[in-house]
Chain A
């Protein structure tokens, strides 16, 4: 998937330490309708792997993690 994917909700978790960004991602997924894409901005290198593992467990789609200016954009689609 390309970095241009348009998110329905963007959560800025830059500056937050683990598990902050993952917690923010999960909270956002809870709030949006099925099919929506949530994008979390993180400076924690672990968020990508944690988010991937969480998606595997929870059945949501891990779209990818894309580098931005000093942070990463982690994108997930709510599947159910």
Chain B
């Protein structure tokens, strides 16, 4: 049987994981990853860049080195997907054909969705934005910081909460906390989108004197007068504005007419097959799945997608089912973290924040580039999920472990 040509569009978390899973079956498939830059950004590290606790260069990885040798890499921007021709149209002329396609194009923050936000606000969801916020923070001398969520959807739902708690730590370290008011704004009726996690967030914020403004749907920003206005009619003055912009799918999805109005690809929530497209699958942020847009979701999706794709190639039904699993460690400030594990059926029940979960988060950040090429990360996560590493807990404060996972804020 001739080998099937599988093209993976996007070399981020989901694309890389799935390509490495498929590359293990090089007797059945030829895998090609097409990525715009060939540079793989480890986005969770951006959380620490504004505080100077992480260097942006360390978060960039050569995609070629993360991929197994048998997976090809083509650096090119794809302008359009043409399912009828089973072809990708490249921006600078040229086409790439496929037998099967995996869409892994991620999501993009779009500050221009809100008038004045690009000029007046900061965020930390891209490298340039995180670096610019680092500069702004280094000049900050006190006043009101308005921080939060400008609109939905956005990736990694806990990141704005984590950032706010770390901001509180950083301001204390710089002796600026008593000169600063922190106001967290959110369009939601409560501090966090998942009800079982809300009490913990609200308790942490209350303990640290962080104010919460709920039902704050940012309508516009007035950079000249340093004011942010909500649809609900509220107006807040700010010294520094840090708002996560609403996200959209990659322009290629929109240009190809494969997405909904936000540019998200309609995807079967169990098989990960694109609805109405037998030969196309989708993974990660690019999908319209009812799960958090997160690297963790992409990790758990990758083995299911690979299995279903291989089944399809062999003429079988794609029967493996993604159960909506997500697991993420969440910074809680003061050197502690908690963990959110959940799926389509079960909401998360976060444990009390502790240095143990913080240590695991740091470990994952540190070993991510090693785990990806081996394709082991989902398995490691599963082991963590089942508590298999709990026996190492007593070591987490030891000098050896601290050395392994050092992060300059702890």
A58 and B377 CA atoms in complex are apart in Å by 45
Cβ contacts under 8 Å, A58 to chain B:
215, 231-233
Which one, A17, A29, A57, contacts B290 given CB within 8 A?
A17
Chain B residues 212-258 with CB under 8 Å of chain A are: 215, 217, 219, 231-233
Cβ contacts under 8 Å, A19 to chain B:
152, 187-188, 193
Is there contact, CB below 8 Å, between A16 and B290?
yes
Chain A residues 11-62 with CB under 8 Å of chain B are: 15-20, 22-23, 26, 29-30, 50, 53-54, 57-59
Interface of A is mostly: helix
Q: How large is the interface on B (under 10, 10 to 19, 20 to 34, 35 or more residues)?
A: 10 to 19
Q: How large is the interface on A (under 10, 10 to 19, 20 to 34, 35 or more residues)?
A: 10 to 19
Q: A19-B152, A19-B188 are in contact. Are A59 and B231 (CB under 8 A)?
A: no
- Say whether B189 faces chain A, with CB atoms less than 8 Å apart: yes
Cβ contacts under 8 Å, B219 to chain A:
30
Cβ contacts under 8 Å, B290 to chain A:
15-17, 20
Cβ contacts under 8 Å, B217 to chain A:
26, 30
A30 and B220 CA atoms in complex are apart in Å by 12
Output the least CB separation between B154 and chain A (Å): 11
Cβ contacts under 8 Å, B231 to chain A:
26, 29-30, 58
Is there contact, CB below 8 Å, between B193 and A57?
no
Is there contact, CB below 8 Å, between A54 and B152?
no
Is there contact, CB below 8 Å, between A53 and B189?
yes
Output the nearest chain A residue to B214 by Cβ-Cβ distance.
A57
A23 and B187 CA atoms in complex are apart in Å by 8
Is there contact, CB below 8 Å, between A54 and B189?
yes
Is there contact, CB below 8 Å, between A59 and B188?
no
Cβ contacts under 8 Å, A80 to chain B:
233
Cβ contacts under 8 Å, A50 to chain B:
189
Output the nearest chain B residue to A23 by Cβ-Cβ distance.
B152
Output the least CB separation between A4 and chain B (Å): 28
Is there contact, CB below 8 Å, between B215 and A54?
yes
Output the nearest chain B residue to A18 by Cβ-Cβ distance.
B193
Output the nearest chain B residue to A49 by Cβ-Cβ distance.
B189
A58 and B189 CA atoms in complex are apart in Å by 12
Chain B residues 166-199 with CB under 8 Å of chain A are: 187-189, 193, 195
Output the nearest chain B residue to A58 by Cβ-Cβ distance.
B232
Cβ contacts under 8 Å, A54 to chain B:
189, 215, 232
Is there contact, CB below 8 Å, between B233 and A26?
no
Output the nearest chain B residue to A46 by Cβ-Cβ distance.
B195
Chain B residues 292-326 with CB under 8 Å of chain A are: none
Output the least CB separation between B369 and chain A (Å): 33
A22 and B217 CA atoms in complex are apart in Å by 11
Is there contact, CB below 8 Å, between A57 and B152?
no
Q: A26-B231, A57-B232, A59-B233 provided; 12 other pairs, C-beta below 8 A?
A: A16-B290, A19-B152, A22-B188, A22-B189, A26-B187, A26-B217, A30-B219, A50-B189, A54-B215, A57-B215, A58-B215, A80-B233
Q: Can you give 30 A-B contacts (C-beta < 8 A)?
A: A15-B290, A16-B290, A17-B290, A18-B193, A18-B195, A19-B152, A19-B193, A20-B152, A20-B290, A22-B189, A23-B152, A23-B187, A26-B187, A26-B217, A26-B231, A29-B231, A30-B231, A50-B189, A53-B189, A53-B215, A54-B189, A54-B215, A54-B232, A57-B215, A57-B232, A58-B215, A58-B231, A58-B233, A59-B232, A80-B233
**A interface list, Cβ under 8 A from B:** 15-20, 22-23, 26, 29-30, 50, 53-54, 57-59, 80
**Closest 7 interchain pairs by CB?**
A58-B232, A57-B215, A23-B152, A17-B290, A50-B189, A57-B232, A19-B188
